[in-house]
């Protein structure tokens, strides 16, 4: 298999301060950033806690590899406060504007089908992705890995109207499967829960397995854009 061809990109958060964000853009099948020869699905990847993680989180990297292999274009980026992105961490408040900017940037790319943009997040990134998904029903689907339960308002489950995959580890101390199930029951419509046996919160050692589950979910949930 040929090496993944990625490009460093910068874009501006949609918050009033206009924080500069850094990302890595991987066009599907190595297509150039300016090519409009294909119209492909794309996904934004949201990493865990920005105070201690960034887009080089092992699961985020595994998701990039698996989704590109499946024919998706991928944008992974650093939230504000995670260098070289600017700004400061705001515990999820302004990070929503970071995701909004990433989605907008993807939709502006000539080879991306702007109606087929999904989001996948891990831990902190999963929680913020779920909040964003509730506010932007035009997103094709969302996958949330180990979203911290304490960050999820009960009403949020009722607000998410798009296809949603929620994963947690069997031994996840921050997102126990039974608590995640209780949250989903507020509105189970279009929500799929998956428990990864023996895995803990950060999914160490299970990155490839989780990435494959998410790629498969997107493939079957949005078959008209799967490649």
Report, as an integer, the average pLDDT of 39-58. Answer: 96
Above 50 in pLDDT, residue 77? Answer: yes
Alpha-carbon gap, residue 211 to 123, rounded angstroms: 14
Strand partners, 52: none
Above 60 in pLDDT, residue 158? Answer: yes
Helix (H) or strand (E) holding 169: strand 164-169
Q: Helix axis angle, 58-69 relative to 207-221, nearest 10°?
A: 40
Alpha-carbon gap, residue 73 to 44, rounded angstroms: 9
Assess if CATH 3.90.550.10 describes domain 7-221. Answer: no
pLDDT score recorded for residue 227:
41
pLDDT score recorded for residue 5:
84
Identify the three-state secondary structure at position 221: helix
Cut 0.95: pTM above it = no
Report, as an integer, the average pLDDT of 37-42. Answer: 79
* Angle made by CA atoms 168, 171, 175, in degrees to the nearest 5: 45
pLDDT score recorded for residue 3:
59
The pLDDT confidence band at residue 225, using thresholds 50, 70 and 90, is: very low
The rounded percent of the chain whose pLDDT value lies above 90 is: 86
53-57, 105-109, 112-116, 219-223, range with the lowest pLDDT: 219-223
Report, as an integer, the average pLDDT of 183-187. Answer: 95
Report, as an integer, the average pLDDT of 95-100. Answer: 98
pLDDT score recorded for residue 122:
98
């Amino acid at each position: 298999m040929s090496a993944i061809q990625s490009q460093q990109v910068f874009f501006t958060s949609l918050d009033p301060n206009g924080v500069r964000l850094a990302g890595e853009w991987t066009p599907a099948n190595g297509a150039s950033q300016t090519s409009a020869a294909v119209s492909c699905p794309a996904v934004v990847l949201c990493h865990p806690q920005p105070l201690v993680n960034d887009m080089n989180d092992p699961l985020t990297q595994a998701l990039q590899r698996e989704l590109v292999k499946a024919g998706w274009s991928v944008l992974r980026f650093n939230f504000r406060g995670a260098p070289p992105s600017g700004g400061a961490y705001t515990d999820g408040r302004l990070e929503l504007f970071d995701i909004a900017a990433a989605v907008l940037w993807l939709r502006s790319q000539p080879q991306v089908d702007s109606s087929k943009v999904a989001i996948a997040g891990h831990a902190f990134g999963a929680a913020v992705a779920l909040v964003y998904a509730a506010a932007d029903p035009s997103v094709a689907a969302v996958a949330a890995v180990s979203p911290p339960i304490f960050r999820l308002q009960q009403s949020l489950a009722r607000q998410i109207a798009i296809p949603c995959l929620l994963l947690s580890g069997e031994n996840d101390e921050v997102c126990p499967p039974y608590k995640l199930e209780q949250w989903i029951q507020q509105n189970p419509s279009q929500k799929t829960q998956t428990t990864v046996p023996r895995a803990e919160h950060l999914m160490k050692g299970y990155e490839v397995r989780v990435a494959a589950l998410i790629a498969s979910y997107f493939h079957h949930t949005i078959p008209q854009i799967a490649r």
